[in-house]
């Protein structure tokens, strides 16, 4: 029998003009497949049930750990959010299972977009393999694995006060799906017009700083913020961040030399203030979920 090798990478997802737009402005509104929309909407209603519980129930079910990086976190009079980082062993709650399903589907979608970007930039698709190890599905683990920083976040912004300051996410790519307006993206200036904030147009993919750096700035970082709204807002955010276990040969990405992923990501995160933490100091350059 003739042997067929498996396809080396997933099939293209976006049109070349969409990839060009994403790389140029750092963000892009995307149409999601129907099955993912249904999956997100189930997660959104389970998230609403979760947020309707008492603080004690929320803190007990998902204790915060690693600062803002895992579990339930509440910023008084602003927003509350639940961060999934791993699958708790033995968990069978509907919310956990739905989060796991959304993680897998969105991670694969972002991986396909990463491959589309690679095609546009002449980066071999397998250059991403070590950076995505164990990240395309939620890993089961008793404790948070510091080498796997990807997160799925469910936000509930309070009416009139829920915000996130201007920032670029840290990771590779982020998908934000909100139930109403509030997310704004920065449109870079062109010859004809100055830069401006515009409302995100539905589900939005954002380029994170790690991808910007790996692409030697050929992909711009997606600058965004969340502004308050009368009715408040809920959103689901998945941030695909690099696995921090291996060195990266930068030649494969069109650069020079090599760097350990942990060092690269550490440098990127060290320069920023977390826009999802309680405010303690003046923000210079913010970073959010991704």
Ligand X SMILES: O=C(O)CCC(=O)C(=O)O
Chain positions contacting Fe ion, by CB under 5 A: 169, 288-289
Question: Between residues 133 and 165, which has the closer beta carbon with respect to ligand X?
Answer: 165
Minimum separation from the CB atom of position 239 to Fe ion (A): 8
3-state secondary structure of 61: helix
Scan residues 201-230 and list those touching ligand X (CB under 6 A): 224, 226
Shortest distance, position 1 Cβ to ligand X, whole Å? 49
What gap in Å lies between CA 31 and CA 14, rounded to an integer? Answer: 10
Q: Dig out the tokens for 154 from the structure.
A: 């469910």
| x-marked contacts with ligand X along 230-269 as a string, rule CB under 6 A | -----x-x--------------------------------
Q: CA 84 to CA 99: how far, in whole Å?
A: 8
Q: Look up residue 112 and give its two tokens.
A: 């396909």
Strands 286-287 and 273-274: parallel
Nearer to Fe ion, 98 or 289 (CB): 289
Question: Which of 140, 179, 169 has its CA nearest to residue 43?
Answer: 179
Q: What is each CA distance from 290 to 225, 241, 242, 255, in whole angstroms?
A: 13, 7, 10, 23
- Considering beta carbons, is residue 100 or 169 the nearer one to Fe ion? 169
Q: Which two tokens stand for residue 33?
A: 């497949």
**Near ligand X by CB under 6 A: residue from 80, 96, 100, 169:** 169
Provide, rounded to whole angstroms, the least separation between the CB of residue 170 and Fe ion: 9
Q: Which of 73, 155, 186, 238 binds ligand X (CB under 6 A)?
A: 155
Q: Which is nearer to ligand X, 118 or 287 (CB)?
A: 287
The answer to whether the CB of 158 falls within 8 A of the CB of 78 is yes
- The item of Fe ion, ligand X, none sharing an interface with residue 155, based on CB under 5 to 8 Å by kind, is ligand X
Query: Least distance from C-beta 164 to ligand X, angstroms?
Result: 5
CA distance 22 to 207: 8
In the block, tokens 């994403």 appear at: 22
Q: Could you tell me where the DSSP H helices lie in the chain?
A: 16-25, 34-51, 55-61, 94-121, 209-214, 261-270
Q: How far apart are CA 106 and CA 20, in angstroms?
A: 21
Interface with ligand X (CB under 6 A), residue from 109, 164, 243, 264: 164
Under a CB-based contact definition with an 8 Å cutoff, are residues 264 and 248 in contact?
yes
Under rule CB under 6 A, residue 154 binds ligand X: no
Task: Return the number of other C-beta atoms located less than 10 Å from residue 263's C-beta.
Answer: 12
Q: Which stretch binds ligand X (CB under 6 A): 85-93, 98-106, 116-124, 282-290?
A: 282-290
Q: Which is nearer to ligand X, 88 or 228 (CB)?
A: 228
Residue 116 CB, nearest distance to Fe ion (Å)?
21
Taking CB atoms, the residue at the shortest distance from ligand X is 288
The Cα–Cα gap between 271 and 285 comes to: 7
| Near ligand X by CB under 6 A: residue from 203, 208, 222, 288 | 288
């Amino acid at each position: 029998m003739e042997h067929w090798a498996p396809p080396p990478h997933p099939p293209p997802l976006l049109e070349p003009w969409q990839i060009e737009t994403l790389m140029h402005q750092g963000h892009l509104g995307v149409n999601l497949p129907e099955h993912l929309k249904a999956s997100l909407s189930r997660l959104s209603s389970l998230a609403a049930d979760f947020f309707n519980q008492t603080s004690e129930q929320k803190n007990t079910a998902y204790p915060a750990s690693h600062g803002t990086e895992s579990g339930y976190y509440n910023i008084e009079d602003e927003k509350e959010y639940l961060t999934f980082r791993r699958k708790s062993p033995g968990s069978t709650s509907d919310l956990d299972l739905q989060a796991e399903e959304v993680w897998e589907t969105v991670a694969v979608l972002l991986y396909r977009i990463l491959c589309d970007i690679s095609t546009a930039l002449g980066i071999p698709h397998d250059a991403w393999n070590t950076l995505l190890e164990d990240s395309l599905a939620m890993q089961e683990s008793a404790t948070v694995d510091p080498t796997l920083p990807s997160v799925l976040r469910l936000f509930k912004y309070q009416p009139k006060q829920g915000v996130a300051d201007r920032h670029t996410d840290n990771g590779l790519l982020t998908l934000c799906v909100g139930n109403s307006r509030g997310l704004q993206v920065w449109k870079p200036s062109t010859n004809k017009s100055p830069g401006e904030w515009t409302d995100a147009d539905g589900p939005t993919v954002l380029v994170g700083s790690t991808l910007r750096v790996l692409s030697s700035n050929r992909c711009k970082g997606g600058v965004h913020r969340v502004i308050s709204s009368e009715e408040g807002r809920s959103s689901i955010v998945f941030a695909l961040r690099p696995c921090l276990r291996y060195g990266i040969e930068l030649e494969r990405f069109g650069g020079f030399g090599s760097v350990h992923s942990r060092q690269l990501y550490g440098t990127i995160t060290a320069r920023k203030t977390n826009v999802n933490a309680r405010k303690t100091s003046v923000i210079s350059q913010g970073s959010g979920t991704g």
